[in-house]
Homo-oligomer: A and B are copies of this chain.
């Protein structure tokens, strides 16, 4: 294919020759997330985690639609201006995305990547826009601590004791608008404040990894190999070294998985040092009783929207790699004694002025 817009840069690695632009984003965060270090950077705060709904599942859906509505408002767009919605969540049959998309009305491509959903939806949005098939796509995800706990572990009303290696599913939602760079020039599409233009220049689709770990209360350890594989393949595919990035943001390895990832990368003589940070560690303070750190589809999405993208926008950094990770088991596969397969997808964002 001669007039290709996306270079062939290796298996599973997508390099966008005419990079789509990440123009706007919106975050909605729960109470505990707001009490963390990023608290004042969220666009909207939800103190009542039932959101006036009769179930946690309906509350989660409201977080999702809230983030998309806020994004459209920030971007000065209507839902009818957006061609595709790439979305998913943690609940069985991704009912949060499905029911929310019914109310939002944008054509839906439902995805499932557990806590890697943020980067999976972002890379598909970028692929769609870069290919010229759509002008504008939204990537969105949500998670809710109380709906996830009762689906994956126990209803919190049971008071089952948590293990120190367990991670805390974040309550929140985030949505990201990816646009054709030509579209962005139009007067009706203002950037979110002044600052740099954020381009999605490449991405790497994850391969499923499984080191035989079986403990859903220690997902950080299970996910570290997936993050390592994707980071190494992204470096190979893009021809970059870790020094080219000011931030490599994983999500959500937590305090157990993060040092394991450092070890796995060191075995390949890759030493990202302080530029390697984890959304599961960044989202909460040490004293917030979240055990090994945050998790959930919203975790990396919230840290991306509240911390990483604003720093790129303000020119405080120029290139980052989002590496959201996901545990791909189900409660049933755990009960059946299966190990936990994991995945990580990478999205590279650069700031240009």
Binding site for B on A (CB under 8 A): 1, 3-8, 11-12, 14-16, 18, 55, 57-58, 80, 83-84, 88, 91-95, 98-99, 101-102, 105-114, 120, 124, 127-128, 130-135, 151, 180-182, 204-210, 328-333, 336, 338, 341, 343
Chain B residues near A99: list those with CB within 8 A.
Answer: 208, 328, 333, 338, 341
Cβ-defined partner of A112 (8 Å) among B58, B93, B204: B93
Chain B residues near A106: list those with CB within 8 A.
Answer: 207
Complex Cα–Cα for A140 and B88 (A): 19
Q: Give A272 Cβ to nearest chain B Cβ, in Å.
A: 22
Secondary structure type dominating chain A contacts:
mixed
Cβ-defined partner of A127 (8 Å) among B80, B131, B181, B329: B131
User: Is A1 within 8 A of B133, CB to CB?
Assistant: no
Q: Give A134 Cβ to nearest chain B Cβ, in Å.
A: 7
Chain B residues near A107: list those with CB within 8 A.
Answer: 11-12, 204-207
Complex Cα–Cα for A341 and B181 (A): 34
Identify the interface centre among A15, A94, A131, A134: most chain B CB within 10 Å of its CB.
Answer: A131
Cβ-defined partner of A111 (8 Å) among B112, B128, B209: B112
User: Is B14 within 8 A of A1, CB to CB?
Assistant: no
Complex Cα–Cα for A30 and B151 (A): 31
Q: Give A175 Cβ to nearest chain B Cβ, in Å.
A: 16
User: Who on chain B is nearest to A203 by CB?
Assistant: B133
Q: Which 5 A-B pairs have the closest CB atoms?
A: A131-B131, A4-B132, A12-B107, A98-B328, A6-B133
Complex Cα–Cα for A55 and B338 (A): 11
Known: A1-B18, A11-B80. A130 touches B127 (CB 8 A): no
User: Is B95 within 8 A of A332, CB to CB?
Assistant: yes
Chain B residues near A124: list those with CB within 8 A.
Answer: 109, 124
Beyond contacts A57-B336, A99-B341: 19 other A-B pairs, Cβ-Cβ < 8 A, are A3-B5, A3-B132, A4-B131, A4-B132, A5-B5, A11-B80, A12-B84, A14-B134, A88-B112, A92-B92, A93-B329, A98-B328, A98-B329, A98-B343, A107-B206, A108-B205, A110-B112, A110-B343, A124-B124
